[in-house]
Amino acid sequence: MREIGIGLIGTGFMGKTHAIGYSAAAAIFPGCPRAVLRVVSDINQPAAQAMARQFGFQSWNTDWRSLLADPSIEVVSITTPNVMHHEMALAAIAAGKHVHCEKPLAPNAAQAREMMEAAERAGCVTQVGFNYIKNPLLKLAREMIAAGELGEITNFRGIHAEDYMADPQTPYSWRLDPAGGGGAVADLGSHIIGMARFLLGPLSAVNAELETVIKTRPEAPGANARRDVLVDDIARLGLRFAAGFGGSIEANWMASGRKMQLGFEVSGSKGSLVFTQERLNELLHYRAGAAGFVRIESGPAHPPYGLFCVAPGHQLGFNDLKTIEMAEFLMAIDGGPRQGPDFREAWEIQKIIDTAIASSREKRWMEID
């Protein structure tokens, strides 16, 4: 079986999710190369050491650059704060590695473009962590829309709302660093913008209002001193799609009570589809004239669900979506189809985020370049 050496940078929320996905991919997907967990790197030494022990990485270190010179590493996985993605990805590409980078790809479209161009010049396989669209039911939704089951599309209503920044006492962190790009519009908005594009194709224009609701936060955990917040807490976007219809998106990281409200409603002349990640194993379908929505439950009829479990209704989870993403990435490196989202798609998403920020500043509709 083909083996692919992995170098992982970062051991936080996403670092762990990547390690789980790589570890499970070949066991779930027949024909998928085996990911060999070679080296994990984190500036936090105990965290790097603990992750190496827990997942069986062959070694750990605190200097991510040392991964680049290691010929046993074919893939570099970047799970650090956004502001670091550009430097790390460019260095990994220059060292001849394939690169998985978490979303948003970069703080702005200019950096994302540089990363995309470097990757395409080098011919390396890239993947960006838009894991939620790996849900088999999202693939089904896209197929239903493409097959005309909703008729002519009239509207897209999307949301990604969580509440991890709702408390004004939640301290300043890398997510609030303007050098890393937008606030909620980038952190959460990137997922729902990517999902809108996945389902319905390119957007042509945006009119956004970005709002910073909590103007200052403790500068560190437990600190009395407060620091100004310069990024948005809530972003409200009006959208025009290239296909001619309109829509809207809310990205909100202070929606009290919401832990993972990533979802959409797509309406058309013959029906509509409703999805929320809060109930990721179901898709609601309304056919015009019917009494109400029909619930489609995830099962082996929706590949690759059946590779995880032979029984319908037993449900996939968050880490399963990451496993699908990692398996597709590893298989693409092995010559399989490149299913993305790759750096080019992440650049397209970043352009929309940049345009939303500019539109909010200028208080007008703006075309997406």
Binding site for ligand NAD (CB under 6 A): 9-15, 41-44, 47, 64, 79-82, 84, 102-103, 129, 131, 187
Do residues 7 and 18 make contact, with C-beta atoms less than 8 angstroms apart? no
Nearer to ligand NAD, 44 or 169 (CB): 44
Residue nearest ligand NAD, CB atom distance: 12
Closest distance to ligand NAD from the beta carbon of 63 (Å):
8
Nearer to ligand NAD, 80 or 298 (CB): 80
- Edge-first strand order for the sheet with 294-297 is 294-297, 282-287, 271-276, 261-268, 153-161, 246-252, 234-241, 203-211, 366-367
* 126-157 as b/e: b if 16+ CB within 10 A: bbbbbbbbbbbbbbbbbebbeeeebeebeebb
Closest distance to ligand NAD from the beta carbon of 142 (Å):
19
Nearer to ligand NAD, 58 or 269 (CB): 58
Nearer to ligand NAD, 129 or 158 (CB): 129
Quote helix, strand, coil % in the chain, to nearest 5. 35, 25, 35
Closest distance to ligand NAD from the beta carbon of 193 (Å):
14
Residue 69 CB burial class (10 angstroms; 0-12, 13-18, ≥19): exposed
Closest distance to ligand NAD from the beta carbon of 45 (Å):
10
Closest distance to ligand NAD from the beta carbon of 253 (Å):
11
Closest CA to 157 of 233, 250, 64: 250
Nearer to ligand NAD, 133 or 237 (CB): 133
Q: At what angle do helices 343-362 and 189-200 cross, to 10 degrees?
A: 120
Amino acid identity at 184 = A
Nearer to ligand NAD, 187 or 354 (CB): 187
Nearer to ligand NAD, 296 or 353 (CB): 353
Residue with tokens 């990692």: 326
- Interatomic CA distance for residues 211 and 341, integer angstroms: 29
Closest distance to ligand NAD from the beta carbon of 247 (Å):
22
Closest distance to ligand NAD from the beta carbon of 340 (Å):
14
Structure tokens that stand for 134 in this block:
């790996």
- Interatomic CA distance for residues 185 and 231, integer angstroms: 9
